[in-house]
Amino acid sequence: MKAIVLREFGKIENLKLEEVETPKISLDEVLVKIKACGVCYHDLLNRLGKIPRTRLPIILGHEVAGEVVEVGSYVKNFSPGDRVTAIQRILCGSCTYCRTGRESLCREGLGFFGEEIDGGYAEYLKVKASSLCKIPDEISFEEASILACAVGTSVHAFKTRAKVSLGDQVLITGAGGGVGLHAVQIAKLCGGRVLAVTSSKEKIDKIWEAGADEVIYSPDFQFVKEVKALTHGRGVDIVAEIVGSPAFEASLRSLAPSGKLIFLGNILTAPVLINTGLVILKEIELCGSYAVTREELLEVIDLVKRKKLRPMVSHTLPLEKAPEAHRLLQDRKTIGRIVLTI
């Protein structure tokens, strides 16, 4: 099969189109013909060697959708021809987290696609049936590919971790990116008033289109005064921090007393210093949020099917143009998600 293979960390040119062996499935696995694979900033960090558990050689890509072509003899709930998407990792199915519906925390399974196991920049992918969800005909493969990560990340963050409710004021940094535009939509669906921060003028219109109540243009990430002015001096109840280190201090200072800072992205990976005095005095909660669960992904699929949520794809490129996709993302030339089609 054709695949984009990374054999050395670093430059974009290290992403090479190769002919590799088609995966062979075991009794509880499914072979999926990949039709679309989203390109996430996480993939860039994998390529650069910024995520320690990334092995080499590796086929990147954890945002996949396609058609089932073969199933193992133990698999009863999927058949050839089924249209499917997947969560981002292969689960063990038996650890405490898997058994209690928190499978995003599973560390006993085979691991994360495009990082510990080969991912979706390829014509075929083998997947445990427990990681798959069926998708209806109303949802395109391009849209379906980004539902677990670009969309599901925010469902997990806002509904499960932050528990956003009607009237909550929600600040979202990096609001013009692949996760950010969907975070705006999810926060609105939860009943929040959304203040969206972007450092790119070109992305402002799309953020309004996604449903933000206020858009703050802040190229230097010094947005505290604007947030306080828009909240009558109080600050926000919840900050969804997607950018990382440059926005952290302003995010913390934008919170109202008893506010909650949710980390759901780390685009810029430098360490941050925490003002513990501010956290103590304002009784701020710091909360990590990782990945979508299978049940949450089913909820996302239903929201899209009912047109309550719109996946936002900015570019589609053929598989062999994966290096171009990385360059577009690296140069911040995208508004929404890039998807590779296979």
The answer to whether residue 216 scores a pLDDT higher than 90 is: yes
Per-residue confidence band for 205, with pLDDT thresholds at 50, 70 and 90? very high
Lowest pLDDT segment from 75-89, 111-125, 200-214, 255-269: 255-269
Lowest pLDDT segment from 151-155, 194-198, 240-244, 260-264: 240-244
CA distances 178 to 38, 173, 241, 280, Å, are 10, 12, 14, 33
Give the pLDDT of residue 269. 64
pLDDT in tens, 247-295: 899 999 999 999 999 998 766 667 788 889 999 999 999 999 999 999 9
Instruction: Give the integer Cα–Cα distance in Å for 46 and 15.
Output: 11
Question: Coil, strand, or helix at residue 58?
Answer: strand
Give the pLDDT of residue 332. 86
Instruction: Give the integer Cα–Cα distance in Å for 51 and 31.
Output: 27
Mean pLDDT over 313-330 rounds to 97
Residue carrying the six token digits 């950010």: 180
Q: Which residue, 312, 228, 322, 250, is CA-closest to 39?
A: 322
Number of H helices, E strands in the chain: 11, 17
Q: Is 167 left (phi over 0), alpha (psi -120 to 50) or beta?
A: left
Q: Topology of domain 153-288, per CATH? A: Quinone Oxidoreductase; Chain A, domain 1 (3.90.180)
Mean pLDDT over 51-65 rounds to 97
Instruction: Give the integer Cα–Cα distance in Å for 301 and 274.
Output: 37
Give the pLDDT of residue 314. 93
Instruction: Give the integer Cα–Cα distance in Å for 174 and 246.
Output: 11
CA distances 222 to 132, 136, 287, Å, are 41, 43, 22
CA distances 245 to 10, 160, 177, 248, Å, are 22, 24, 16, 5
Tell me whether domains 2-146+311-341 and 153-288 share a fold: yes
The answer to whether residue 148 scores a pLDDT higher than 80 is: yes
Output the DSSP codes for 214-263.
EEEE-TTS--HHHHHHHTTTS-EEEEEE-SBHHHHHHHHHTEEEEEEEEE
Q: Where are the domains of the chain?
A: 2-146+311-341, 153-288
Mean pLDDT over 31-35 rounds to 99
Give the pLDDT of residue 273. 84
The CATH class of the 2-146+311-341 domain is alpha beta
Mean pLDDT over 91-103 rounds to 91
The answer to whether residue 299 scores a pLDDT higher than 90 is: yes
The answer to whether residue 150 scores a pLDDT higher than 70 is: yes
For residue 184, the one-letter residue type is V
* Full-model pTM: 0.94
For residue 181, the one-letter residue type is L
Percent of the chain whose predicted confidence (pLDDT) is above 90: 90
Instruction: Give the integer Cα–Cα distance in Å for 4 and 125.
Output: 13
Mean pLDDT over 25-42 rounds to 97
Give the pLDDT of residue 201. 95
The answer to whether residue 104 scores a pLDDT higher than 90 is: no
Q: Which residue, 131, 133, 152, is CA-closest to 40?
A: 152
Give the pLDDT of residue 129. 95
Phi, psi of 239 (to 5 degrees): -115, 130
The answer to whether residue 34 scores a pLDDT higher than 70 is: yes
The whole-chain average pLDDT of the chain stands at 95
